[in-house]
Amino acid sequence: MEIIILPDAAAASKAAAQILLDLVTHKPDAVLGLATGGTPLALYSELIAAHKDHAFDFSRVTTFNLDEYIGLPEEHPQSYHAFMHENLFRHINIQPARIHIPDGNAADIKAHCIAYEQAIRDAGGVDLQLLGIGSDGHIGFNEPTSSFGSRTRTKTLTRQTIKDNARFFEDDPALVPKHCITMGIATILEARCALLLAFGKGKADAIAATVEGPLSAMIPASALQLHPNAKIIIDQDAAAKLTFADYYQWAYANKPE
């Protein structure tokens, strides 16, 4: 793992965006694994700005999203289809046919999950997988106890996750999802680069467990210790409980060319 500690979320998001932009510059047909939630929003804003201000070209990029709710209409504002189009896709020149998001309304969910894995393989694999992390250490919707060998599949959300999500569905509580489709941990680990972002004191325990704790299914993100090219980009607050924070900062400042 490379641990990159920056002063704040804005600086961390900018640095992460630059890694992604550099990849697409050198490989215009790059395959990107994308994430939802609040953490990547500033990064997506950087990508949009690069396209609008500097005509950065995303036309040959292919994307695969980590997850989606089951049974929620794609047009619902809380669906991850809606999230991605609102916060990134409609603002850049990506080709719709190159966008892949799990279909939570597929007639045969199990077959769809198998096909999603095959589509990733057919695309040549993911070059860079963007990740956030939950306060309990989950990545994607791989909740604690998820197998390190897991693949794209259905997952039942925890009661806490369902409770946390209820605030987004105040107009129709019956629509709060209880199930999802998520890439598995083994799928994530096959990406050529894993790029995890985390900001704020609420993520400090999860980051410490991920980076310096033992490998454990109870902390799914700890599987990234097994990845040959994992970059953890965090702000000072998220780094607050890292025992070797000073070393990580020294190593980054003295990184060889």
CA 69 to chain centre: 15
Instruction: Note if 136 is an active site residue.
Output: yes
Catalytic residue among 46, 67, 68, 117: 67
| CATH classification of the domain holding 79 | 3.40.50.1360
Domain range enclosing 111: 2-253
Instruction: Note if 235 is an active site residue.
Output: no
Q: How far is CA 79 from CA 16, 175, 198, in A?
A: 25, 11, 22
Catalytic residue among 57, 74, 103, 136: 136
Instruction: Note if 170 is an active site residue.
Output: no
pTM (2 d.p.): 0.95
Instruction: Note if 22 is an active site residue.
Output: no
Count of domains for the chain: 1
Catalytic residue among 143, 190, 227, 235: 143
Angle among Cα 130, 134, 138 to the nearest 5 degrees reads 80
Inter-residue contact 197 to 40 (CB < 8 Å):
yes
- The two three-digit tokens of residue 47, written as one number: 């990508």
pLDDT (tens digit, 9 = 90+) per residue, 144-197? 999 999 999 999 998 888 888 888 888 788 888 999 999 999 999 999 999 999
pLDDT (tens digit, 9 = 90+) per residue, 7-51? 999 999 999 999 999 999 999 999 999 999 999 999 999 999 999
